[in-house]
Amino acid sequence: MIEKRRGKLEIIADILSSMQKKEGRIKPTHLLYKSNLSHSKLKEYINMLLEKGMIEEKLVKGKKMYFMKDQGYKFLLEFERIKEFSDSFGL
Amino acid sequence: MVFESVPYGLPSYVFSPNWFYGFDSIIELIAILVSILLVYYSYKCFKLTKEKKYLYFSAAFLSLTFGFIAKIIGTLAIYKPSITRTALGSSIHEAFTGLTPYNINAIALVMHFFFMLLGFMILFLIISRLTWKNQRVIALLVYFVFIATWLSIIHYQLFYFTSFVLLSLITYSYYQNYREVKSKKAGFVTIAFGILLISQAFFVFVIYSRIVYVLAELIQLLGFVYLLIPFILIFRKRPRIIK
């Protein structure tokens, strides 16, 4: 079966969802593995999420970590709602 | 029942028994509120995702909203002719001389037929996954809506029968969607359209008994309540914030 190509919003939701599953914090290497994106593409999305205030970058014991912010949780909730609405009403 | 034949062959109908006057308008108002909720949220989804399917869904329920508004105006013109004596009513009356409550009822009824059929048709197009690439099919179906509206003026039963056919197709598509996604909410949507389908079957026979109209309206109310349930379930979901 051919998998449908993910759209921009689906990719963002996948990134945030990966972070949420890891209790809202994730290492860049884990994120790269979970998001199924190339390094350069992931960097593009990370920069965008940082700009939009959905995630933040912090150093934990000298290592870079990404933390999900309230804006990110809000986006994920809205995305899940749209998906459920879409599934329920056959859109 | 046919009250009066007005110009251009437009018929004026009121099917409700006297004691139910106004209650049907309240039911229509509830249908409007549910429809507006769907219009608003679907349009919001369109603004966020830029996916046209949400815009079409919004347009479908907007058309149904107009359809119900037209029905309320049409029936209230007969139930409450005193409306024509209000400031707005008399100014309309002066602008369109000779416009009787029966005329308003007849014109509103045609608008009701058109917008309801258009709404159901757009819903059918969305759920059938037809896109604007199928322009010729869409043009043919829109033409079909005009023809059905025109013929419904000659015989009102044709409107309810056409709605019944469209809702049969929509309900079947939603049943297929339910089997595919297997979610409780999709099940509620299928049930809602199934109930609306039954209400249209009752509406076909309103000419034979006024109580059938009451039953059809109550079934329609139940259909819209069921349409509201999945919407409430979606919005009851709380954010899972882990900090």
CATH code of the domain in which B148 resides? 1.20.1070
Taking the Cβ of residue B127 and every Cβ of chain A, the question of whether any pair is shorter than 8 Å is answered with: yes
Taking the Cβ of residue B189 and every Cβ of chain A, the question of whether any pair is shorter than 8 Å is answered with: yes
Q: Which amino acid is at B144?
A: F
* CATH for A62: 1.10.10.10
Total number of domains in chain B: 1
Residues in A closer than 8 angstroms to B242, CB to CB, are 20, 23-24
Residue A90 pLDDT > 60: yes
Q: Give the model's pLDDT for residue B169.
A: 95
Please give the DSSP secondary-structure letter assigned to residue B237.
P
Total number of domains in chain A: 1
Any domain includes B152: yes
Q: Do A86 and B45 touch (CB under 8 A)?
A: yes
pTM: 0.83
Residue A91's pLDDT band, with cuts at 50, 70 and 90, is confident
Query: In chain A, what percentage of residues exceed pLDDT 70?
Result: 95
Burial status of residue B185 (CB atoms within 10 A of its CB: 0-12, 13-18, 19 or more) = buried
Any domain includes B242: no
pLDDT in single tens digits along all 243 residues of chain B = 544 555 455 566 778 888 888 888 899 999 999 999 999 999 999 998 888 889 999 999 999 999 999 999 888 877 776 666 677 667 766 666 666 777 777 888 889 999 999 999 999 989 887 776 778 888 888 899 999 998 888 888 899 999 999 999 999 999 999 999 989 999 999 999 999 999 999 998 888 888 999 999 999 999 999 999 998 998 887 655 544
Taking the Cβ of residue A2 and every Cβ of chain B, the question of whether any pair is shorter than 8 Å is answered with: no
Any domain includes B73: yes
Nearest to A91 among B48, B57, B242 (CB): B57
Q: Give the model's pLDDT for residue B32.
A: 96
Calpha distance A44→B199 (Å, rounded) = 53
Any domain includes B158: yes
Residues in B closer than 8 angstroms to A69, CB to CB, are none
Taking the Cβ of residue A67 and every Cβ of chain B, the question of whether any pair is shorter than 8 Å is answered with: no
Any domain includes A3: no
Taking the Cβ of residue A23 and every Cβ of chain B, the question of whether any pair is shorter than 8 Å is answered with: yes
Q: Give the model's pLDDT for residue A63.
A: 87
Nearest residue of A to residue B235 by CA position?
A81
Any domain includes A2: no
Any domain includes B66: yes
Q: Give the model's pLDDT for residue B11.
A: 61
Nearest to A90 among B173, B239, B240 (CB): B173
A18 is in which domain, residue-wise? 8-84
Selected for mutation to probe chain A from B35, B182, B183, B234 (highest A CB count within 10 Å) is B234
Any domain includes A57: yes
Q: Secondary structure of chain A in the HEC alphabet?
A: CCCCCCCHHHHHHHHHHHHHHCCCEECHHHHHHHHCCCHHHHHHHHHHHHHCCCEEEEEECCEEEEEECHHHHHHHHHHHHHHHHHHHCCC
Taking the Cβ of residue B237 and every Cβ of chain A, the question of whether any pair is shorter than 8 Å is answered with: yes
Q: Count other C-beta atoms under 10 Å from residue B209's C-beta.
A: 12
Nearest to B57 among A7, A81, A89 (CB): A89
Q: Give the model's pLDDT for residue A4.
A: 63
Any domain includes B114: yes
Q: Give the model's pLDDT for residue B89.
A: 67
Q: Give the model's pLDDT for residue B173.
A: 94
Q: Give the model's pLDDT for residue B40.
A: 94
B161 is in which domain, residue-wise? 2-235
C-alpha distance from residue B3 to each of A57, A72, A88, B55, B224 (Å): 73, 60, 42, 39, 29
Q: Which long-range contacts (CB under 8 A, 24 or more apart) does B194-197 make?
A: B195/B219, B195/B220, B195/B222, B195/B223, B195/B226, B196/B167, B196/B171, B196/B220, B196/B223, B196/B224, B197/B164, B197/B167, B197/B168, B197/B171
Any domain includes B39: yes
Calpha distance A56→A50 (Å, rounded) = 6
Q: Give the model's pLDDT for residue B242.
A: 46
Sign of CA dihedral B216, B222, B225, B227: negative
B9: left (phi over 0), alpha (psi -120 to 50) or beta: left
Q: Do B45 and A89 touch (CB under 8 A)?
A: no
And the tokens for B99? 């416009």
A4: left (phi over 0), alpha (psi -120 to 50) or beta: beta
Q: Do B188 and A88 touch (CB under 8 A)?
A: yes
Any domain includes B243: no
Residues in A closer than 8 angstroms to B171, CB to CB, are none
